[in-house]
Every structure is written in C-alpha cells, then in structure tokens.
Structure 1
Amino acid sequence: MTGMKVEGREGTENPMNTDDNVVTNSYRLLDEVAVSLEQKCILHVCGQRSGKSVALGLSDYSLALYDVCNLHRVCSFPAHTSTITDVKFSSKNEHLLYSSSLDGTVKVHDLRSKTCVAELKDDSEGPSMLKPISSFDFSSDENFGSAGTELFDGDAFVLFWDIRTSKLLGGYWESHTDDITQDKLHWFRGMDSTFNISCITHTEELQLWEIDGASPFAHFTREDIAGILKDDTVDNTYLVNSHNQEDGGLLIIAGYSSLKRQDLSAFSLKKPDMTAVCSVSSMNGNKQEVRGSWYNAKDQVLLTGGESGFLSLWTRDDESNTGHQTKNFKMKHKSKSKPYQRE
C-alpha cells in the first residue's frame, strides 16, 4: 500500500497508512449453514436492530429468517415472482420486513404470520404491466416509500407511495434513459458528529461523502482496494458492504473471486478523516463470492451470504473481542454444525 493516496477534505492528497503501521488480524469462521440442498444464492442479508435475527433474500424469490446466535432457520416463505432487489427490516416494528423485486412490487411482510400485509406497486398501465423495481427505501418515519425502476417502455421511473395506505402518490419519468440502480449507501458519523455517507458503486469503488459536499472527501478505486487486500488481479476484487464500528470508524467488507479461490477480507478506516486504513483482517475459510453482509458492532460479529448459498457467522479472533454475546456465540458453537438444513 505504500504510495497509495486518497483525496483529502481540502482538495489535497493525504497518504494512506503504509504496511508498517497497519494492524493485521483475522476473523474466525464460527459457524456456517447452507440455506438449502438445492442451489440457492443469498442475494441480501439484513439484521434486526435487536440483533436477534437476520433476513435473507434468496435467488428463488423467497425470504428466509435465521436466528443469529445458532443459525437455525426460524421460517422461510415465497415472497416474489422475480429477482429480489432489496430487503429491509422496519425500524419501528421488528416483525415487519420490506422486500422489493423486479416483479414490480414492494411488499411488507409480517414475519409472525409469514404473510404480505401491504403491497406497493404502480399498476397505472394495467395489472400485467408493473414497472420492475430495482431499488427501494422508506422515510425515517416509514410513512412514505420511494423506488427506482429498470427501463420500462423506454423510460425509467422514480415512484412514491404513502405506505400507510399503499397509495401511489406519483413519480418522475422522462428523466432517465437507463435503469435506476441504487449504489450501496451507508450513513455514518464523521467529524464533529455530522452525518456522512459511504457509497459503494457498481464499478467496485468506495466513496465517502459529506452531506453538503460537492465531491467525495475520500475515494478508493478498485485498484486501491486490491492494493489494501494485496490481491494480484484487480478485476477479481469486489466490494460487499460497509458497516459502522463502535469507535466511530468504518468496517469495509471486500473479496477476491476467481476459479481457484474465494477470499474474503475486511479493513477498517479510522477517524478523524476516514482516509487512513488502520487494520486489515483476513477471513480464512470463505467458500463463495459474497453478495451481502450484516455486522453487529457491539459484539464484533459478522454474517455473510453469497453465491453458493452459505450463511456464515464470523467473529474477531483476538483478545479485544470480549463482548458477552460473543462469548455466548462461542459457547453455543463449540460443536460442528450441520452442513445444511432441510427445507
């Protein structure tokens, strides 16, 4: 990493840490389960605020709920008729789960009854002409929802609903000539406790933005990421997600995928300016290209899911990881888990 640079806040270049002052450690694979005997890809991983359960969006258009502590399946059910494009837990009610899909719907599921209790869609062109949803989010009070679509009849749309009534409020169109895809956005606290945004782009780059910034204050290219992870082929390097850490830093999950190996790593960016890499962690035992991750910062527990359908539970393998819940995980996972769970 010697000589690698990122753009600073004042437009200057700040040198990143060199190999001499980057801490190297590892995450240990504590447990792992395959979601099915059939080949299913885990596309999305999302955890409850309580940290008790994670929801998975699967490639067979279904949703599955797993207990974080023992990786037992709580429930699974069919959710859509086409590819699931996002999964989000309600911030107000942990029993409610949102999912969006290319079938043209955003659904709200009650996990207690495993039923859809609300559905958002644009059927203004007819019930068989729904616009394919490629990204979705809701307001902080969950009263309103918005979604971007893939191209539909030569145009892409941004749609808005009142979630309380499932009523379509309107949308924008004739402003996009390509699919509206949401880069992976993540909010974190920056200097002076202001909120900043990390963005993982479709070109496998990491950008850090201030809310009122005209350009990213830090920008890690795919080449930069490969250098941090010491990957020999840039084109095989990919980014998965970014997560908040208890010390205010960011944990970035990244991988290397080839026919010969599937590597997974994490690196930490530290305050105050988030431009310095302070640690790089290896994850020995990864078997797949990872598509989604969820991180419990308090207990330093990470869950990943990916192309081969494995849900993997990782913990920091060092003396600093002394969280009570982590000790519980280690006690409960002393024996080797089953390689799969039956439907």
Structure 2
Amino acid sequence: MGGYWESHSGDITSIRFNFQKGNMFASGDVTGMINIFDINQTDEDEALLTTLNCEDSVSKMTWFKKNEKMDFLAITTHSETLQVFEAEEDKDKQQSYTFSRKSVAHSIRRLSQEHVFVIDVIENQDQGFLLLAGSNYEKNKCLRFSVFKSKKLKPYINLPLDVSNRGHVRSCVELPGGLGYVTGSEGGILDLWKPGATAKEESLKFSSKKKAQRSKPY
C-alpha cells in the first residue's frame, strides 16, 4: 500500500489503530514523539494529521472516548507514567493530562511509588478508560485497576492476585461483551478475571517444550 518514512527519528515502540476510524492510526517512539496518520493519504505530508510529544519513551497507547469523541489517546511510558492527549489537529484546542508514577501509585492505594509499575490501559465505554497497574513490594504485592474520571485517576478494582511464580504481569485485554479480563505475566501464565466472581479462575500455564531435532530436512 505504501509507507511513511520521514516522520519518526527514533525506534517505533507502539502502533494503535482507532477502531472507529479505520483509516486513522497513531505511532509512538522512544523519543516521545507520537504521530497520527490517515492511511487514505499516500503522500506522507498529507497523511500526517498531527504530532504530539509526551517527552518520554512510549510504551503502549490506547484510543478512548470522551464526550462521545474517540479522538483521545492514553499513553503509558517506560518510566511508569501515564499521559492523556486529545488528538486534535488544532493544537490550540488540544487537551492533555499527565499522571506521574506517584499519581499512579496513589490511584492504586500504594504509598511507595518505586515499587509501582504500569501494565496496560483498557478502553471502557462507560468510564473512558481503565489503567491496570501493580506493585512488586515483596510484603504486599498487588494488581489493581484505576479509572480515569473527571480528569483524575481514581481507585476502581482490586484483583486478588496470587503472585507466586508469575513474575510481573505485563499485559491485559478485555473479553468482548464485558465478560471479564485476561492478564498475562512474564511467567507464561494467563489469568481470567470475571465480574462478581468470588475467586479468580484457575490460570493457564503454557509450558515450553523443546522440539526434537531431525537429522534430515523432511
């Protein structure tokens, strides 16, 4: 289809399509630059709709709605912060919010920010978006959602995680129809979380098996 070659100077770390506008996607890089493109345009200058700068290395991005508009981006960074941008072409109308690692820690009711890490952002039709973060403090590890509401991050859901043999939880997806969430960890474990359940479902562990080497290529 073509490509855009000049818009990023640093390594690209995240790309996310706006699922309500299939022609629009955002790309972020290690320098903090975020470009929003219209892939209906083959010329790069015309395809580049706007450029944002979060001044930090981009980890993940999620589009979400606010006031019925799905032109907002929630961006997590490699320094465990969260930034929110309105993807307006007119920069004078852009809104932005920044949440430090300390703010993220406060939103999941942790006092010590150095143990807190950001995992993922989930677009939520009712609430805008949910932020999943955790704490690896040895005496009290936790996994919790906070919600972006009234321009603030507020405590929302506690996930009663048995952290043994998991390593950090690194990603989260929402099941269709609001049926729950699946989290994945460095230990190769997936956990299924259901609303209203008294306990989480037993996790699934993927064991790595070495394939037997063949002496012949057939």
The answer to whether 1:290 aligns with 2:169 is yes
- DSSP 3-state at the match of 2:184: strand
Write out per-residue CA displacement over residues 178-213 of structure 1, whole angstroms, 9 at most, x where no aligned residue: xx953422111112x122221212222222222234
The answer to which structure, 1 or 2, has the higher relative contact order (CA under 8 A, 6+ apart) is 1
**Gapped regions of structure 1 (runs ≥ 5):** 1-119, 123-130, 152-157, 163-168, 172-179, 320-329
CA distance in 2, matches of 1:209, 1:150: 17
Cα–Cα, structure 1 residues 250 and 283, in superposed 2: closer, same or farther, change >3 Å? Answer: farther
Which runs of structure 2 are paired with 1:117-136 in the superposition (5 Å)?
134-136=13-15
Q: What residue number does 1:194 align with?
A: 69
Q: What residue number does 1:185 align with?
A: 61
CA distance in 2, matches of 1:236, 1:189: 30
1:245 shift after superposition? 2.2
Q: 1:228 aligns with which of 107, 110, 113?
A: 107
Q: What residue number does 2:120 align with?
A: 241
TM-score (norm 1): 0.41
Cα–Cα, structure 1 residues 226 and 283, in superposed 2: closer, same or farther, change >3 Å? Answer: same
Q: What residue number does 1:250 align with?
A: 129
Write out per-residue CA displacement over residues 310-335 of structure 1, whole angstroms, 9 at most, x where no aligned residue: 1221122369xxxxxxxxxx9xx6xx
- DSSP 3-state at the match of 2:178: coil
Q: Percent identity?
A: 21
Q: What residue number does 1:308 align with?
A: 187
Which runs of structure 2 are paired with 1:120-199 in the superposition (5 Å)?
134-136=13-15, 141=22, 181-191=57-67, 193-195=68-70, 196-199=72-75
Write out per-residue CA displacement over residues 17-47 of structure 1, whole angstroms, 9 at most, x where no aligned residue: xxxxxxxxxxxxxxxxxxxxxxxxxxxxxxx
Letter aligned with residue 194 of structure 1: K
Q: What residue number does 2:83 align with?
A: 207
CA distance in 1, matches of 2:87, 2:11: 29
- DSSP 3-state at the match of 1:235: helix
Write out per-residue CA displacement over residues 137-170 of structure 1, whole angstroms, 9 at most, x where no aligned residue: 568657x99977779xxxxxx9x9x9xxxxxx88
CA distance in 1, matches of 2:12, 2:197: 42
- DSSP 3-state at the match of 1:298: helix
Letter aligned with residue 305 of structure 1: G
Query: In terms of Rg, which structure is larger?
Result: 1
Letter aligned with residue 159 of structure 2: S
Letter aligned with residue 189 of structure 1: K
Write out per-residue CA displacement over residues 264-294 of structure 1, whole angstroms, 9 at most, x where no aligned residue: 1112234xx3426262423332443121111
Cα–Cα, structure 1 residues 317 and 138, in superposed 2: closer, same or farther, change >3 Å? Answer: closer
8 Å CA contact retained: 1:245, 1:297: no
Letter aligned with residue 277 of structure 1: K
Q: What residue number does 2:144 align with?
A: 265
1:263 shift after superposition? 2.0
Cα–Cα, structure 1 residues 300 and 275, in superposed 2: closer, same or farther, change >3 Å? Answer: farther
TM-score (norm 2): 0.61
CA RMSD of the aligned region, Å?
Answer: 4.3
Cα–Cα, structure 1 residues 189 and 233, in superposed 2: closer, same or farther, change >3 Å? Answer: same
8 Å CA contact retained: 2:135, 2:142: yes
CA distance in 1, matches of 2:138, 2:162: 16
8 Å CA contact retained: 2:16, 2:62: no
